[in-house]
Amino acid sequence: MAIHTGVFEAGTQLPPQRLLADQLGIHLNTVNRAYVEIRRRGLTESRTRRGTIVLPPHRKTKSSRAP
């Protein structure tokens, strides 16, 4: 995965989902599910007006913590 290998460093803003789907030629729902999964794994967080941001390694967000 590009986040684990350092292609996307902490603080990197990922492309908007619609733009990424268009660039890859895949359905928007596929990209949406991928973004949900990387957020669930604690690799990213969504910020208002900033989009999806890659988190530093081992940092967990509220949404990625177990109940």
Number of domains in the chain: 1
Over the chain (67 residues), what is each successive 10-residue block's mean pLDDT? Answer: 84 95 98 96 91 83 52
DSSP the chain: -TTTTTSS-TTPBPPPHHHHHHHHT--HHHHHHHHHHHHHTTSEEEETTTEEEEPPTT---GGGS--
Is 66 among the domain residues? no
Name the residue range of residue 33's domain: 1-55
What pTM was estimated for this model as a whole? 0.78
Is 29 among the domain residues? yes
pLDDT (0 to 100) of residue 67: 47
Is 36 among the domain residues? yes
pLDDT (0 to 100) of residue 63: 54
The domain spanning residue 37 has which CATH number? 1.10.10.10
Token digits for 28?
A: 């928007």
